[in-house]
Amino acid sequence: MSIQNREAFLDKLASRLRRERRTEGVERPQWSVTPQEEVFKGMSQDELVAVLEKHCKVIHTTFKRTDRAGLASVLNETLQAYEGKSIVTSNDARHQEYGITKFFEEQGDQLDVHVWDAAIGKENQKIAERADVGLVFSDITLAESGTVTLFNTKDNGRSISLLPRTFVAIIPKSTLVPRMTQAAKHIHQAQASGQDVPSYVSFITGPSNSADIEMNLIVGVHGPVKATYIVVD
């Protein structure tokens, strides 16, 4: 770990600003307005689900809603729609809790499921690259923008949501917040209390897209070409 040329560089900035160098004692001011706090303030979880559902149309994402009992069948239906035979997913305790582990076991030979395994290193990426479907749980879900937030760790590689042809996010209703403000606040507070932010945080909003050719919207560029969100009550 190295830091090179810092002192001269920053001394120069301080001199341009016509003051002594500052290395401590700077506090963020109280901002005069905080409009970000007002968006969807006081909404219930169900109201936030409605906001999310509406916005899924804008971001070309299929929206589904079910409860724990219905999750297996909704997942099955989604996999069929995507002709998903091979699946890569995170090594996540919630799979057991939500009955997904059981569903995969029941499917047996019908599905080729790879659970992220830190021990096999880069091999995970190769499997993800070939997979039809990447399946993850949303850690924080932003209703306003239709965004799933993923804290990527050694058991939950980012490749899962990135390399497969399609992307399925399971969204526990409790993970819904109004917007990015609440996710950022959560991370900021954790960081301030000495808990390091994961080395990758991904805010994913629907499938990848581009408008670089004559401003035509093309859905599906480098990342997944299709996406489904399944909200679980």
Partner 1 sequence: MSIKIGEIPYKERIQNGIKDDFMRQAVSSAQGRFRTGRLTQAAELGNWEDWRDLGEEIRTHTLENLDYYLHQLSEQVARRGGHVFFAETAEEANQYVKSIIQKKQAKKVVKAKSMVTEEIGLNKALEEVGAEVVESDLGEWILQLDEDPPSHIVTPALHKNKQQIRETFAKKKGYTGSDTPEELAAFAREQLRQDFLSADVGVTGCNFAIAESGSITLVTNEGNAEMVTSLPDTVITVMGMERIVPTWEEMEVLVSLLTRAAVGQKLTSYITAITGAGLELEVDSPEEFHLVIVDNGRSKILGTEFQSALHCIRCAACINACPVYRHIGGHAYNSIYPGPIGAVITPLLEGYDDHKELPYASTLCAACTEACPVKIPLHEHLIRHRQIIVEKEKGPTAEKLMMKGFAAWASNPAIYNMSAKMAKPALGPWTKDGMIENGPGPLKAWTEVRDFYAPQGQSFRSWFKQRQKDGESK
For 144, the token pair is 């306003």
Q: Token pair for residue 119?
A: 């021990």
Query: Which residue, 93 or 211, has its beta carbon nearer to partner 1?
Result: 211
Give the nearer residue to partner 1 in terms of CB position, either 91 or 101: 91
Q: Which is nearer to partner 1, 57 or 68 (CB)?
A: 57
The type of residue at 198 is: P
Nearer to partner 1, 81 or 218 (CB): 218
Q: Min. distance of Cβ 229 from partner 1 in angstroms?
A: 13
Nearer to partner 1, 138 or 147 (CB): 147
Distance in Å, CB of 30 to partner 1, minimum: 10
**How far from the centroid of its chain's Cα atoms is residue 211's Cα?**
22
The first and second tokens of residue 21, run together, are 């160098």
Are the C-beta atoms of 232 and 52 separated by less than 8 Å?
no
Cβ at position 77, least distance to partner 1 in Å: 24
Rounded to a whole number of angstroms, the minimum distance from the CB of residue 176 to partner 1 is: 15
CA distances from 130 to 65, 133, 134, 215, 224 (A): 28, 9, 10, 30, 12
Which of residues 58 and 69 has its CB atom nearest to partner 1 in the complex? 58
Rg (CA), the chain: 21
CB of 104 to partner 1, least distance (A): 21
Rounded to the nearest whole angstrom, what is the least distance from the CB of residue 70 to partner 1 in the complex?
28
Burial of 90 (0-12, 13-18, 19+ CB in 10 A): buried
CA–CA separation, 49 and 16 (whole Å): 50
| CA distance linking residue 186 with residue 176, whole number of Å | 13
